Amino acid sequence: MREFNRNAKHPDIDLIQLALTRAGYQPGRIDGIFGMRTMGALNAFRRGRDMAQPERITTGDWTALTPFLTGYVRRTVREGDTLFRLAQEFRTTVEAIRTANPDIHSEHLRAGALLTIPLGFDIVPTQIRFTSTALYYVVRGLTARYPKIERETIGQSVSGREIPVLRFGAGRHAVSFNAAHHGNEWITTPVLLKFLEDYAKAEAQNKQLVSQDANVLHTMSTLHLIPMVNPDGVDIATGALDQGPDYEYATYLAGNYPHIPFPRGWKANNRGVDPNLQYPAGWEKAKEIKFAQGFTKPGPRDYVGQSALSEPESRALYDYTLRHDFYLTMSYHSQGKVIYWRYLDHLPPGSEEIGRIFAKLSGYTLEETPLVSGHAGYKDWFILHYDRPSYTIEVGQGESPLPLSQFGEIYKDNKGMLEIALIIQAP
């Protein structure tokens, strides 16, 4: 992991501050700045572990703080250990330990066995800028604490960052949710990850998710969640990518469109291509529209690329979709509190009725996609290819990237809709 000197400012420092807060120290407001208060909290953390106290964040600090980002530790069973004692030691619950270790015999723990011990907080952070590094820790944590969540890498970004999918469920009714096709719409990633965490927790505890029994949902359906389609774009937009050849190239491409603020206006991948203008559904028409708007070469947004599916991010999601029999898909974007439900005159059976249910649950408006943005998107291709329901969900209000202060409202608006999407079918 990257090291930082005093007074550095970077989204990865958000993670250090988050971990220190979870560990019981006081780094101050999570602001991504390695200032005096964060330094003091880090040194207090170090003293408790007999660590050196240099004037920088080191790889050793990252290693020591990792459990407070992934939400678990590994612990070898000792003679006399019981689940109750372990739960007390790590301030967690017996049920959480059992969930993370489904093969253990809780009445007779075997000395020498290695256990996963969840810590006493939720994993998905909702108060930090979400980057590919944050995603890495969250994916590790969710799959460790909830072994029923399966992980697969479906491809890599232009810069080689992994694009993971998380699967949860045992039913034949398959649905797919994706987020962060666009870099500066990264707030959609924690929305979907928080939903998955709440779902997995409710299933483990035999509780309702929102209005449905989580065990029933898990038995009936399988969720395929792609939380960050465009990790390079996210890291550019958040400032996590701020040095090196990839950053220099992004800066160069941003110069093609000086009226678009950089980096916060960045939606594209690291070749300056919009991943959600890459799918084989009117791609030539999308090119005509975007060229007429002036987006004729790579840049922060709205460039369609050299051909459909030329970009690895879009190709990864396309290929993964072809390998599965999804009944319904939902693509998360920001902003506008709008649900887009159709592609041209293609009307999959039940799609409007399902869209109206989604609108009622969320309070969002059900609308047809505007012509200027109504081609070459993932939703458009899924509808065209499968004749099944697919939706683009535009969360929140304002200019992207949306402030984290909107997260609570966004999640509240969408949680019920995401739940029903797991089991709903055409009337």
SS3 49: coil
Active site residue 394: yes
Distance CA 287, CA 290 (A): 5
Asked whether the beta carbons of 93 and 108 are under 8 A apart, the reply is no
Region 132-232+311-421: CATH code: 3.40.630.10
The pLDDT, as a whole number, for residue 426 is 77
375 Cβ contact partners less than 8 Å away, ≥ 6 residues apart: 277, 281, 282, 283, 285, 286, 289
Asked whether the beta carbons of 203 and 218 are under 8 A apart, the reply is yes
pTM above 0.85, yes or no: yes
Ranges of beta strands (E only) in 199-266 are 221-226
Distances (CA, A) of 36 to 15, 58, 78, 371: 16, 16, 40, 52
Distance CA 181, CA 233 (A): 8
What is the number of alpha carbons within 13 Å of residue 265 lying toward its C-beta?
14
Task: Find the catalytic residue in 162, 185, 394, 419.
Answer: 394
Q: What are the domain boundaries of the chain?
A: 4-58, 72-118, 132-232+311-421
Distance CA 297, CA 301 (A): 10
Mean pLDDT split into 10-residue runs, the chain, 427 residues: 95 98 96 97 97 97 98 96 95 96 87 96 97 98 98 98 98 98 98 98 98 97 98 98 97 97 98 98 97 97 98 98 98 97 94 98 93 88 98 97 98 98 89
SS3 164: strand
Among candidate residues 32, 2, 6, the one with its CA nearest the CA of residue 17: 32
State the amino acid at position 226 in one-letter form. I
Distances (CA, A) of 293 to 249, 260, 263, 266, 340: 23, 14, 21, 17, 22
Distance CA 71, CA 48 (A): 19
The pLDDT, as a whole number, for residue 393 is 98
CATH topology of domain 72-118: Membrane-bound Lytic Murein Transglycosylase D; Chain A (3.10.350)
Question: To which H or E segment does residue 167 belong?
Answer: strand 162-169
Among candidate residues 112, 101, 109, the one with its CA nearest the CA of residue 144: 101
The pLDDT, as a whole number, for residue 106 is 74
What is the number of alpha carbons within 13 Å of residue 222 lying toward its C-beta?
15
